[in-house]
Chains A and B, each alone.
Chain A
Amino acid sequence: MKTQDSGEERDLKLFFSELKKRDEKLSIPDFPKPQKKKHIGWLPIGIAATFIALLWFFYPTPPSSQIEGDIIIITLVEGENQEQELLIEKTTYMDVWEPQTSSLLTEF
């Protein structure tokens, strides 16, 4: 709704038209070029993550340096001249092991 023109409004219109005229001299800044936000999408992050996962999965693992046998059995045995000898055996597995002397079975 536009208000009705009256004597009071005429004065005000004159006032604002003078103001507009003065504003014609204003320097209007250029329309600012909106800067595009640097948007890091999920796509490159996803690609990088997949690449790292593949690399980790397929990377040849270095052969583990293992000793010849995992289990070392040291047995104290009695030699021919009634001497005590240490018998060292190496094996990778052991299902059943029984001491060659009965001392372990009977005394312990």
Chain B
Amino acid sequence: MNRHQLEQLVKSVHQEAYIWARQCCGFDGNMARDVLQQAYLKILEGKAEFSEKSKAKTWLFSIIRYTASEEYRQNSRQIPFLDGMDLPEPEAVHQAEDHEELLQYLPERQREVLLLIFYHDMTLEKAASVMGLHIGTVRTHYDRGKKNLKKLIEKKKAHEDAR
């Protein structure tokens, strides 16, 4: 695949790529732009090679995810999501103003797998490929994530109903 074809391929999923980059960057649009630019450079300079076996979207998403985590490491930014398995008990869940804020209460991997499956319509296998994890691990994050998000949604709803 030559450079032009690669550029066209990436361009065809640009919108989704930006949204995923933003989700990987704690919904920070400016950081997402930087991360996306770096990810595209990696691709077009041949630092990230496209294996035709994997779907372009899966491949691009994994590069974006990796680049975002690199950006956090390099700039010593605080990762906005917890990396554990269990949901912390946030006292201020009801203060979450929107869906994005609510998602931020989820541990990082649970949030990622839910976004990949429910938002980006991926299968568990593809989500595992993007996250670079074994499918069994991803399934665990998925199950826990669903339960935790449901709890958060219910808490928020209960608070809104009580008002």
Interface size band for A: 20 to 34
B146 at the interface (CB under 8 A from A): yes
A37 at the interface (CB under 8 A from B): yes
Query: A1 and B44 in contact (CB under 8 A), knowing A18-B99, A19-B100?
Result: no
Q: Give the residue name and chain of the B residue nearest to A32 (CB).
A: B37
A-side contacts of B147, CB under 8 Å: 8
Chain A nearest CB from B111 CB (Å) reads: 12
The complex places the Cα of A9 from the Cα of B142 at a distance, in Å, of 11
A-side contacts of B103, CB under 8 Å: 19
A-side contacts of B100, CB under 8 Å: 19
| Interface-central residue, A1, A8, A11, A31, by most chain B CB under 10 Å | A31
Cross-chain contact of A34 among B7, B18, B99, B118 (Cβ < 8 A): B7
Which of A21-29, A65-73, A76-84, A91-99 lies at the interface? Answer: A21-29
Q: Which residues of B contact A (CB under 8 A)?
A: 7, 10-11, 14-15, 18-19, 22, 29, 33, 36-37, 40-41, 44-45, 98-100, 103, 114-115, 117-119, 123-125, 142, 146-147, 149-150, 153
5 contacts between A and B (CB under 8 A): A1-B125, A2-B123, A15-B153, A19-B119, A28-B18
